Amino acid sequence: MPEVLVLDSKEDGAALVAGHIAALVREHPSTTLGVATGSTPLPVYSALGEHASGGLDFSRASAFALDEYVGLPDGHPESYRAVIDREVTQRLGMDPEHVHVPDGSAIGIETAGDRYERALIAHGGVDVQLLGIGSTGHLGFNEPGSSFASLTRVKTLTEQTRRDNARFFSSLDEVPMHCVTQGLGTILRARHLVLLAFGEGKADAVAAAVEGPVSSSMPGSAIQLHPHVTVVLDPAAASALQHGDYYRWAQDNKPDWQGI
Ligand code: GLP
């Protein structure tokens, strides 16, 4: 059962997660972060940026991104390589050599998944993986129907996801059709999963992922198979949970020694 924490606001949720990551990096400077894109994790990156400005050194830490679009021109501002560079690498003062994003170049795309899996394994995997959830229930870009054993590979985006992400592009036509994404099996290898969701628009996907049947029709439900998961929500994103009262009770009575 994932641990569900409901914070008063997304800023409070982000501060909690950033505080946990900062403590980890302080204790283990070569921590490996799994980083997600989308708008959800942005307040975490901004809170981590404050830890960095306050003197926390991220130069020995590493990061692996979840996914990338296929075929965007090099340096496109909405490529996940560019987003991660802006929001994570530069903000935290990480060494760009330590920050990995799947290679979405059209040339050589057939081997991009295998290359990324090899890099992840050679590195020793991810310590803490940040996750958002899409309105289709996707994790990374694993759309409904993705195998729980899947590894990094090329996938086709659903029309819904293309429409959701069109806000970052000048038109829907500009949104790529394909992506390279860590598989659900890849994500499940990370040692700790932290799923963040804020706002009412995520309430149904969160309830299905946390409490619904474990099914490849709801990729987010893969988190129920992992031994260490923390789900961080605001009250709106928690509003469709059936056992919300119990999660709050457990949260209010959480032993002091127990981190997330
Ligand atoms: C994208 C990303 C996902 C992310 C999702 C939700 O499709 N590939 O990793 O979780 O969007 O985005 P947002 O956080 O903006 O709602």
In a domain? residue 205: yes
Query: pTM above the 0.85 mark?
Result: yes
Give the tens place of pLDDT for each residue, 19-47. Answer: 999 999 999 999 999 999 999 999 999 99
Q: Which of 17, 39, 40 to mutate to test the pocket of ligand 1 (most atoms within 8 A of CB)?
A: 40
Q: Whose CA is nearest to atom 6 of ligand 1?
A: 134
User: 134 CB under 6 A from ligand 1?
Assistant: yes
Cβ(151)–Cβ(183) below 8 Å = yes
In a domain? residue 228: yes
User: 180 CB under 6 A from ligand 1?
Assistant: no
In a domain? residue 203: yes
In a domain? residue 258: no
In a domain? residue 118: yes
Ligand 1: atom nearest CA of 140 is: 9
Q: Which residues contact 236 (CB under 8 A, 6 or more apart)?
A: 198, 199, 200, 202, 203
Average pLDDT over residues 141-170: 96
Determine the distance separating the centroid of ligand 1 and the alpha carbon of 100, expressed in angstroms: 18
What CA–CA distance (Å, rounded) separates 214 from 6?
22
The domain that holds 33 is classified in CATH as 3.40.50.1360
Give the tens place of pLDDT for each residue, 201-222. Answer: 999 999 999 999 999 999 999 9
In a domain? residue 159: yes
**Residues spanned by the domain of 179:** 3-253
In a domain? residue 247: yes
Average pLDDT over residues 87-110: 98
| Confidence check: pLDDT of 121 > 80 | yes
**pLDDT recorded at residue 62:** 98
User: 220 CB under 6 A from ligand 1?
Assistant: no
- Could you tell me whether strands 32-35 and 62-65 are parallel, antiparallel, or unpaired per DSSP bridges? parallel
**Helices (H), ranges, 9-72:** 10-27, 42-53
| Confidence check: pLDDT of 95 > 80 | yes
Q: How many domains does the chain have?
A: 1
